[in-house]
Structure 1
């Protein structure tokens, strides 16, 4: 049963289009100063299923910010009910606003953890994630490490997506 589920998820993820790579570092010119992408050799580990890095090493003298899970709540408290893509977009706006308080932004994200309440929300979340990071980051640079999980629910039933992040910068 588990093998069938994982195989189906793998096929679904593999069928998604992979957009252009974005930056997770302070800038594409200072990637080596703050971050080093890490990956296993192709004969030891399969490549990522979507547009993310297998791992990001944060080099010394970097500031780290750990952003708690953000839900799709707007500043006025409203939620785009039954719209996982809009909720994911709002999650990223919230993460970006919090990072601005540390003089950082989505361009500095080195690690994302995301949670959705239904498997069919994966493409909506991935589109919102890719759009948000593409808009914030320089083209042709490294995406953050990332995990995407399906969960049974959040604190309120109207929430469909949650995103937490780790950012690094000098």
Structure 2
């Protein structure tokens, strides 16, 4: 689904991601600046997902593997509602002991899932998450037109 710069008529029925002129291009970093969700849209909120398998155990101590598994889990959660990653308009990302080296794996995973039109995203560095082996967690907001 292409969302960027939709005509005003389309904004009434489908979410739109917009990266305004005058702001830097955020897409290489794995996010968009703004999203418009029409009033008639149904919202699906996905609680914080982390790099766990179906048993709830973290799949790997490796940060990159946890990132990949986390986004896979978001896809599974959305599928339960008949949605997929293309419906996501916002991510809230939590990274334990964040540093710049962690941006690459996150951006790569976002580009794999969303291509050149990633949702809005806020990255928050934290000291710890729910369990000591969880290094990465993401909340998602999806919209169905």
Bin of the TM-score, shorter chain as denominator length: 0.7 to 0.9
Q: 1:124 maps to what in 2? A: 105
**Cα distance change on mapping 1:152 and 1:127 into 2, 3 Å:** same
Answer yes or no: is the 8 Å Cα contact 2:91–2:121 preserved in 1: yes
Tell me the C-alpha RMSD between the 2 structures: 2.4
- Decide which structure has greater strand share: 2
Q: What's the TM-score once normalised by structure 2's chain length?
A: 0.80
2:130 counterpart SS class = coil
Distance 1:124 1:51 in 2: 10
Asked whether 1:34 is paired with 2:14, we answer: yes
Q: 1:145 maps to what in 2? A: 120
Distance 1:111 1:58 in 2: 10
1:69 counterpart SS class = strand
Larger radius of gyration: 1
Answer yes or no: is the 8 Å Cα contact 1:70–1:163 preserved in 2: yes
Distance 1:85 1:169 in 2: 30
The aligned length equals 137
User: Gapped runs of 5+ residues in structure 1?
Assistant: 1-22, 135-139
Q: 1:98 maps to what in 2? A: 77
Distance 2:37 2:59 in 1: 35
Return the match for 2:114 from 110, 113, 133: 133
Return the match for 2:90 from 82, 89, 111: 111
4+ aligned runs moved over 4 Å, structure 1:
none
Distance 2:56 2:82 in 1: 25
User: Gapped runs of 5+ residues in structure 2?
Assistant: none
**Cα distance change on mapping 1:127 and 1:46 into 2, 3 Å:** closer
